[in-house]
């Protein structure tokens, strides 16, 4: 039986068009052959109809049989791809929703380019779709000189991965979307002479001897933000110079922090993949340096002394950032009352709902999510509506029941597993926020200046915000905490404040974020800018 005849049997009338066309059974010379040259190129509606019809009859799978049984001059792979990406039911067409985009960021930061796995967590989306989206986004961001991931997202994700994989550099470059080395080399020393008020180190308490404004970032070049792990440094109250003894080793791995003016010759040395903390002995006031392997999440917050203390956790970018961008990042945090110190206590007070962490609080979302919000608000609201609970971040953690992404929770659990590095990566940012038991009586009180920003990024529910704000306004004394810098601050200082201009009530970002969290950010941003 000729191939065309077989086709007629399986597909009936559908075949007539196909037979008349040049799709089936024609070789290069146009003559029909039993060994037809498989067609390439775009699929026609006729071919689609044939494939759909075939799958309806025979089900998915055994794709190589499609060509034999249906007469489609397409290879099995092509059939499978066409079915999976375009013809199968329940495919979701159209632009990605903000919810989906944020999930893609999170998943990409965790998984790398595991598009198929991501697609499994995004109902109706295909791996090809996600891949295209990401690649397009990468191009756009690279051209704009923007990081592919929010800082913390990279850090946390890679930090977790690094615990398992001995070569986190590979993970970084492979999974985190770093710039190619041709454009930005990845030096061992990736963070040097950070300038306070310019970027990633804005989490220093105002009442510490090392104020935010006393830090100097001497060198901020894109090349210095190579594909490396973030540098995390915890220090306690006291001059940084006290810790200069730590600078002796592995300088090639260490980055340097020059605490400016009065401490210019003194450095905090941190290494990527590791962290130092300086635990103060309450008895002799000596600082007891401790070394923590990053990923252990055993920063000094866990066993902090009761003495008055301030801690800095420096989380350096593991990806490229333009100087201008970095500069802008610092601006918002240049004041004594930094964004970071303000919002960090908030994190400590965040509800620890896994759902919240997953859907809203994921470090991987921070930063880019704001951009997404911005872009979304700029382009259209086609994917969002205020009362569209299933697709809105304004919903609370407990309100996500209708979300199409709910089912992802189960599969995402593997990434939350506290044993899993992924799980750690997701939760560590929160675990690291601890308030000193003594000292300020209100150590758990967040600063009102910026926590709404943080909350916005983190997706806190409105009533929580108001509670925080009320408490904050009742107690204005500075907090004593181990400050960790969430990437949300990047978002607030850079993505919001600079890239899109100072926050005003009219900015699309503030509006959109207010929309997302049901909170008016205007006043908070104004305060921050004025600080």
Partner DNA sequence: AAACGCACCAACCGCCGAACT
Partner DNA sequence: TAGTTCGGCGGTTGGTGCGTT
Binding site for DNA (CB under 7 A): 39-43, 61-65, 74, 76-78, 80-82, 84-86, 95, 113-117, 127-129, 131-133, 135-137, 139-140, 143, 174
What are the two backbone dihedrals, phi and then psi, of residue 233, each rounded to the nearest 5 degrees?
Answer: -130, 125
- Give me the least distance between CB of 128 and DNA, in Å please: 5
Q: Return the number of the residue (325 or 344) whose C-beta is nearest DNA.
A: 325
Q: Return the number of the residue (78 or 479) whose C-beta is nearest DNA.
A: 78
Q: Return the number of the residue (379 or 475) whose C-beta is nearest DNA.
A: 379
Between 451-458 and 522-530, two packed helices, what is the crossing angle to 10 degrees? Answer: 130
- Give me the least distance between CB of 162 and DNA, in Å please: 19
Nearest to residue 247, comparing CAs of 309, 296, 169, 192? 192
- Give me the least distance between CB of 341 and DNA, in Å please: 37
Q: Rounded to an integer, what distance in angstroms lies between the CA atom of residue 415 and that of residue 418?
A: 8
Q: Rounded to an integer, what distance in angstroms lies between the CA atom of residue 433 and that of residue 458?
A: 15
- Dump the DSSP string for 198-249: SSS-----TTSSS-GGG-B-----GGGS-S-PPBEE---SS-GGGGGGGGGS
Beta strands in 281-413 (DSSP E): 287-293, 311-313
- Give me the least distance between CB of 412 and DNA, in Å please: 16
Nearest to residue 357, comparing CAs of 418, 442, 447? 418
Q: Rounded to an integer, what distance in angstroms lies between the CA atom of residue 367 and that of residue 495?
A: 7
Q: Can you tell me which residue has the tokens 């390439």?
A: 40
- Give me the least distance between CB of 419 and DNA, in Å please: 22
DSSP class of residue 274?
E
Number of residues in the chain:
531
Q: Return the number of the residue (137 or 454) whose C-beta is nearest DNA.
A: 137
Q: Return the number of the residue (175 or 335) whose C-beta is nearest DNA.
A: 175
Q: Rounded to an integer, what distance in angstroms lies between the CA atom of residue 374 and that of residue 114?
A: 26
C-alpha pair distances (Å), 465 with each of 56, 183, 286: 52, 42, 38
Q: Can you tell me which residue has the tokens 């059939």?
A: 79
- Give me the least distance between CB of 14 and DNA, in Å please: 17
- Give me the least distance between CB of 125 and DNA, in Å please: 11
- Give me the least distance between CB of 94 and DNA, in Å please: 8
Q: Return the number of the residue (322 or 438) whose C-beta is nearest DNA.
A: 322
Q: Return the number of the residue (174 or 470) whose C-beta is nearest DNA.
A: 174
Q: Provide the H-helix boundaries in 34-150.
A: 45-58, 64-70, 76-82, 98-111, 115-121, 127-144
Nearest to residue 346, comparing CAs of 424, 429, 276, 422? 429
Q: Return the number of the residue (82 or 442) whose C-beta is nearest DNA.
A: 82
Q: Return the number of the residue (131 or 527) whose C-beta is nearest DNA.
A: 131
Q: Can you tell me which residue has the tokens 């010379």?
A: 29
Q: Return the number of the residue (5 or 174) whose C-beta is nearest DNA.
A: 174
- Give me the least distance between CB of 324 and DNA, in Å please: 19
- Give me the least distance between CB of 468 and DNA, in Å please: 37
What are the two backbone dihedrals, phi and then psi, of residue 484, each rounded to the nearest 5 degrees?
Answer: -115, 145
């Amino acid at each position: 039986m000729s191939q065309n005849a077989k086709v007629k049997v399986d597909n009936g009338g559908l075949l007539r068009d196909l037979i008349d066309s040049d799709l089936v059974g024609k070789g290069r010379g146009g003559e029909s052959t039993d060994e037809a040259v498989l067609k390439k190129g775009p699929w026609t509606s006729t071919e689609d109809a044939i494939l759909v019809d075939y799958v309806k009859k025979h089900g998915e799978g055994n794709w190589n049989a499609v060509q034999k049984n249906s007469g489609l001059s397409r290879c099995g792979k092509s059939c499978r791809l066409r079915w999976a990406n375009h013809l199968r039911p329940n495919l979701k067409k159209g632009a990605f929703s903000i919810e989906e985009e944020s999930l893609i960021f999170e998943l990409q930061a965790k998984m790398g380019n595991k598009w198929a796995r991501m697609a499994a967590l995004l109902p109706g989306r295909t791996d090809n779709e996600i891949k295209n989206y990401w690649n397009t986004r990468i191009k756009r961001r690279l051209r704009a000189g923007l990081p592919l991931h929010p800082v913390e997202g990279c850090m946390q994700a890679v930090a977790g991965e690094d615990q398992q994989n001995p070569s986190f550099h590979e993970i970084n470059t492979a999974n985190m979307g770093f710039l190619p080395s041709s454009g930005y080399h990845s030096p061992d020393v990736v963070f040097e002479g950070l300038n306070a008020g310019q970027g990633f180190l804005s989490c220093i308490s105002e009442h510490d001897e090392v104020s935010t404004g006393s830090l100097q970032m001497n060198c901020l070049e894109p090349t210095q933000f190579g594909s490396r792990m973030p540098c995390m440094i915890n220090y306690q109250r006291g001059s940084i110079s006290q810790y200069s003894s730590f600078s002796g080793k592995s300088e090639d791995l260490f980055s340097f922090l020059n605490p400016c003016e009065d401490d210019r010759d003194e450095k905090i040395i941190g290494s990527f993949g590791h962290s130092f903390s300086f635990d103060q002995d309450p008895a002799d006031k000596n600082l007891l340096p401790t070394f923590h392997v990053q990923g252990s999440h055993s920063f000094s917050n866990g066993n902090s002394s009761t003495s008055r203390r301030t801690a800095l956790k420096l989380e350096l970018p593991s990806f490229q950032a333009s100087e201008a961008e970095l500069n802008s990042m610092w601006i918002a945090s240049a004041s004594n009352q930094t964004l970071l110190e303000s919002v960090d206590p908030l994190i400590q007070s965040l509800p620890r709902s896994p759902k919240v962490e997953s859907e809203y609080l994921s470090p991987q979302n921070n930063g880019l999510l704001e951009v997404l919000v911005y872009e979304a608000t700029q382009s259209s609201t086609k994917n969002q509506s205020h009362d569209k609970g299933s697709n809105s971040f304004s919903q609370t953690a407990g309100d996500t029941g209708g979300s199409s992404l709910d089912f992802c929770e189960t599969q995402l659990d593997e990434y939350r597993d506290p044993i899993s590095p992924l799980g750690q990566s997701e939760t560590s940012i929160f675990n690291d926020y601890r308030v000193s038991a003594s000292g300020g009586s209100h150590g758990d009180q967040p600063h009102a200046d910026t926590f709404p920003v943080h909350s916005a990024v983190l997706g806190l529910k409105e009533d929580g915000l108001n509670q925080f704000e009320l408490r904050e306004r009742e107690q204005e004394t500075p907090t004593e905490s181990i400050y960790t810098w969430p990437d949300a601050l990047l978002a607030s200082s850079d993505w919001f404040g600079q890239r899109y201009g100072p926050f005003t009530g009219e900015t699309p970002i503030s509006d959109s974020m207010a929309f997302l969290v049901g909170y008016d950010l205007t006043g908070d941003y104004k305060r921050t800018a004025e600080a």
